[in-house]
Amino acid sequence: MREPPVVGVVFGYLYSAVNYALALIYVIVLTRYIPLTQYGYYNTLMAMIGMIGLFFPTLGVDAAIAREGAMLHSRGLGIDDHYAALLTISLTVSTLYATALIIAIPLYLVSRMPSEYMGLVFIYAAYVAIAGINGALSAYLWMMGRLASQGIGGIVGNIVFRGIEIALLVLLRSVYAIVIGMVIGQLVTLIYYLAIVKRLVNPGRGVALIRRGFRGYLSLGIQNWLLSYLSSVSGYAITYVIYSFIGTTYVALYSLAGYILGAITALGGAVTNVFGSRVAHALGSGLTDRHHLIRDYTVAAISVSGVLATGAILAAPLLPLLGIIHGDYVETIPYGIALFGTAVLGSVNSIYSTYYWVSGRGWIALEVSSVGIAVNVVIALALLIVDRGLGLYSVIIATYLGSLAPLIMYLLMDGNPQISDIVVNTTTYLLLSIAGALPYLLMANSWPLYQLIVFLVTILVTYIMRPIPRSVINQLPGFVKPLLTPFIETGE
């Protein structure tokens, strides 16, 4: 049974909303009980663990199989072999990865990681194994178009994860609480997915499908995998550069700033997930004109991201005043404010990269994204080498430029006749975000009056431009529609 696609957006964002509502409590507890240095070591170790994971790739074969399965399901055909193949890949890769993490413990110690953190590796290995199975089950629901069920699984798991994590942070006062919570959250998600799917197929059944179509899956899937691979390399590289050039404290500040940014970018992830499924089903149904679909999802994501960004810039300085962020962690606030505008750029890049991959032109997305990643890493490294006094602002500047480069490339190569709508919305909301952030960073006592004015101007501009398409609004729950009705496009 296929579920309404935009219900997937709602549940996908609800998943993120619930996650970050609990994360608010998490931030309060984290900054009160966990020293900044300990949190910095934790994030550095997670980056090292992530880098090891890059040596255990699926090469995108799993993503290509899921794409094909979604297209077959749209025609009413069976996808059990695809389900089995996803289980085979997930079990194999996650087992090898988990084993490698434990074998690599001497490497962490050589990198000056204190031995007291090595227990985290064993717990994380268990997380990897369980998450691998959940990934296959989640992909199966995605293939079937059951996006709401897929989203609810994340909500359930994260409620448990955050609850356990927060309780253990208070009891243990250690970053071990975070990883233990992750494992328990994945276990609960696994139980939920099994209850929804109601069956597991024999993974061996998928081996024949993988062998038979491996070359084709690799040709298509490796594009998406390389894109994800390079993005991961970029993130881990940036973390390690910060660790090497300006220290563990700044790793912690950067990680928390990115964590706060996630409250804004959460919508982009939810929209992109549903957008990918919609395009795959559209291809399977023979639909050729997908420009309107791109435009609707992109403009909606841009406008909401822009409003959230300016609202977050206004609200962020309240976090210490309300006792949400404590001690040395307060230094995170200006970095977070400076980062918020990247949410606008990221929403566009996510939609376009997903579109090109799902439509079978993933090499385009790979080439464009590679440029952005290279710009990001090279500029961050260059600025830190030239002037370490810039600190984390060098990384933030690089993030903007690394996001802007691929966006410009996508827009220049796209033949969408409605591209002007995307350009106008992106430019408007990006400038408003920057207009709210710069005074806080450069002018003493500019908050909150200046940021409040910018936020109100953003709401007014959104009302005047009315950027949200009716095609999206019509599929939202009734209680949401009155809130967004003033911002619906006219003339639809």
Contact 303, 487 (CB under 8 A): yes
Q: Tell me the backbone φ, ψ of residue 242, rounded to 5 degrees.
A: -60, -45
CA distances from 285 to 73, 75, 180, 281 (A): 10, 7, 44, 6
pTM: 0.74
Q: What is the DSSP string of 439-487?
A: HHHHSTT-TTHHHHHHHHHHHHHHHHH--B-HHHHTTS-TTTHHHHGGG
Residues 6+ apart with CB under 8 A from 67: 220, 221, 280, 358
Angle at the Cα of 235 from the Cα atoms of 369 and 154, rounded to 5 degrees: 95
Question: H-type helices in 285-341, by residue range?
Answer: 291-315, 318-321, 332-339
329 token code pair = 């962690």
Mean pLDDT per 10-residue run, the chain (492 residues)? 53 60 83 92 91 82 80 76 86 93 93 91 96 89 76 82 93 95 95 87 81 78 73 83 89 89 69 62 60 77 88 92 89 93 90 78 83 92 90 94 93 76 92 94 89 95 79 55 68 53
Spatial contact of 139 and 84, defined as CB atoms under 8 Å apart: no
Pair 360, 353: CB distance under 8 Å: no
Please tell me the distance from the alpha carbon of residue 240 to that of residue 395, in angstroms, as a whole number. 12
Cα–Cα dist 368/208, whole Å: 34
Distance CA 70, CA 285 (A): 11
Domain coordinates in residue numbering, the chain: 1-223, 246-477
Q: Provide the token pair at 474.
A: 């019509």
Which residues are paired to 468 by β-bridges? Answer: 488
Which of 187, 269, 189, 192 minimizes the C-alpha distance to 8? 269
Distance, CA of 135 to CA of 367 (rounded, Å) = 26
Q: Taking Cα atoms as reference points, which of 293, 300, 304 lies closest to residue 416?
A: 293
Angle at 164 between CA 160 and CA 165, to 5 degrees: 115
Which residues are paired to 83 by β-bridges? none
Tokens of 206: 């998928």
Q: Which among 431, 413, 436, 278 has a CA at the least distance from the CA of 354?
A: 278
